[in-house]
Amino acid sequence: MQDEIINKVANSALEVFDLEDYYPNGIRTQLDISQWLMEGFLLKEKDFREALKNHDWKQYEKHFVAINCSTDAIIPAWATILVTVYLAPFAKKVVMGNLADLETALYQEIIPTLDFSQYQDKPVILKGCSKKPVPESAYIMAIQKLQPVAKSIMYGEACSAVPLFKKAK
């Protein structure tokens, strides 16, 4: 007689919090403004404004956009703000920085809107190993929301979770 295989994880009180469930769908685009600088370094205002005016901004329709400069050029603040003026009518979101900064900014908007009350006094696994680029900073934001409500918090997968927090009795 064979012993029945029992899925103890499925039968446990463990709740899984997966940041990947809240990952906003959409195209991420890095926009390098050095393309509009003379030799990638020198901003000539008249030429810069003309290049922006002639750029096809519609191509960023519904994109999440991170503005950066890949060279060591010193860019005045108004330049990136002006790029944003052109992007804003088309892009879903615009941030200054790289794609990782963009992902962080997206989660900074999402996490405060989530209802964590469903995790009240329950053991929670903060799921790791995502297929999408969930930034480490999002896990840091999430743990701060989970810790006041959860009974305990582990990180990873149910089969190999690392204990992070246990509420004092």
Q: What is the pTM of this model?
A: 0.85
User: According to the model, what pLDDT value does residue 153 have?
Assistant: 96
Cβ–Cβ under 8 Å, residues 36 and 67: no
Cα 49 → chain centroid: 31
Q: CB neighbours of 5 closer than 8 A, spacing ≥ 6? A: none
User: According to the model, what pLDDT value does residue 2 have?
Assistant: 64
User: According to the model, what pLDDT value does residue 7 have?
Assistant: 47
Point out the residues of the chain with pLDDT beneath 50: 6-7
Burial class (CB in 10 A: 0-12, 13-18, 19+), 6: exposed
User: According to the model, what pLDDT value does residue 23 have?
Assistant: 95
Question: Token digits for 148?
Answer: 């006041």
